[in-house]
Amino acid sequence: MEKNFDFLLVDTATPYYIIDRAALRRNMEVHADVQRRTGCKILLALKAFSTWGFFDDMAPYLSGVTASSLNEVFLGKDEFGKEIHMYSPAYSEKEFEAALPLVDYIVFNSASQFEQFKPLIKNQNRKIHCGYRINPEYSEVQTEIYNPCTNRSRFGIRAEVLQEVSLHGIDGFHFHTMCQQGSDVLLRTLELVTERFDKYFKKIRWINFGGGHHITRKGYDVDGLCEIINTFREKYDLEVFLEPGESHVLNTGYLVSTVLDVISNPSSIDVVILDTSAAAHMPDVLEMPYTPEILGARRVVESVDTDMPLEEGRYKYIIGSKTCLSGDIIGEYLFKKPLSVGDRVVFADMAQYTMCKNTTFNGIRLPSIISCDSGTPDGNIKILREFRYEDYKTRLS
């Protein structure tokens, strides 16, 4: 393996996810620095990463979690132990009643839902902060499935609707318009948010800038983010929250798999079958879609930066999965050496939106969850969870 990634190759059955605690701590320090410099509060969005075996590494650096369901509320309470914020496009009565004693902030997607549950909130003997999700009708997200501000969006209250809505009992706003983007996008988004909603800012106490901030990505303008937050807070005197999710675990996790077969295809490109699956184990590969990086290989896609220049003698493969779904193809890659049965293939950046979204489609075993620590001499390998037949069977009845 290049760049001394041998510590990822654990003597155990594949596939498995492995997360580097040293890399996770480095990400956490970046977020903690933003909080120190701005006074904002950064939350872990559990929808992006809910592998609680790593919460002890994260909780000391963050202010709390954002939950989108009752199960996430329970998880935040049991394993994170800090502020719990909750948002969902809609709440059922049973779900809301069960979550209410545990949450500190609740964001409502509509005024009608807030009015429905206001009596339950009043019956609590403690302060619960309530907010509305607003829709600024502006987003620079290019992938339609991830754009929350289309004209058919179900997220948030639009400005023309909010002017007819009472803010009595509401002390905050929340907007979420970004996906894997930089602080420049936040700046342009805030210009639209303030243009359409700042007349209400004197009536509220806090605002949540949502997620999609790629704070730990190489080249991200952290200074610019801090300047945006500080300028906003100075002007409007509002408490600011961010809930990035993905940036907390960016480039900390890997999915290690094994070559099961190499299929010759004289009319096209040879195909490699792995013991993992895009559909089951890394669904964003098909949903976004995108081609993940493989350590020691080059993705055959346009406009991909690489430190591995093209030259003759490379071995090209279509990397496929072992499910019966025809489209369960991970991508096309160039390798320096030919692949053989038994070789390990390591996918990078596999912490976010993998373990929390994976499935047992086709009855395929879920990847084990392993932790390591590249900051220690021996790598500190720990197997946190192995999945067996009982885990598959008990999902259904």
What is the CATH number for 190?
Answer: 3.20.20.10
pTM of the model: 0.93
Tracing tokens 């390998």 back to the chain, one arrives at 381
Are residues 197 and 279 both part of a single domain?
no
Q: Which of 210, 230, 248 is the last residue of a domain?
A: 248
Contact predicate 133/207, CB 8 Å: no
CATH number assigned to the domain comprising residue 367: 2.40.37.10
Q: Where are the beta strands (DSSP E) in the chain?
A: 16-20, 41-45, 64-67, 83-87, 105-108, 129-135, 157-158, 172-174, 206-208, 239-242, 253-263, 271-274, 297-299, 315-320, 329-335, 344-348, 368-372, 382-385
**Tens of each residue's pLDDT in the chain, 397 residues:** 445 688 899 999 999 999 999 999 999 999 999 999 999 999 999 999 999 999 999 999 999 999 999 999 999 999 999 999 999 999 999 999 999 999 999 999 999 999 999 999 999 999 999 999 999 999 999 888 889 999 899 999 999 999 999 999 999 999 999 999 999 999 999 999 999 999 999 999 999 999 999 999 999 999 999 999 999 999 999 999 999 989 999 999 999 999 999 999 988 899 999 999 999 999 999 999 999 999 999 999 754 555 555 554 489 999 999 999 999 999 999 999 999 999 999 999 999 999 999 999 999 999 999 999 999 999 999 999 999 999 999 999 9
Angstrom CA distances, 342 to 104, 195, 291, 295, stand at 50, 58, 23, 16
Domain C-terminal end among 248, 280, 308: 248
Q: Domain for residue 122, yes or no?
A: yes
Is the domain of 389 the same as that of 306?
yes
Rg of the chain over CA atoms, in angstroms?
A: 23
Range of the domain at 341: 2-18+253-350+358-393
The verdict on residue 24 lying in a domain is no
- Is residue 324 included in any domain, yes or no? yes
Positive or negative, the CA dihedral 119, 121, 126, 132 is negative
Euclidean distance between CA atoms 205 and 293, whole angstroms:
42
Q: For residue 208, tell me if it sits in a domain.
A: yes
Residue 78, domain member (yes or no): yes
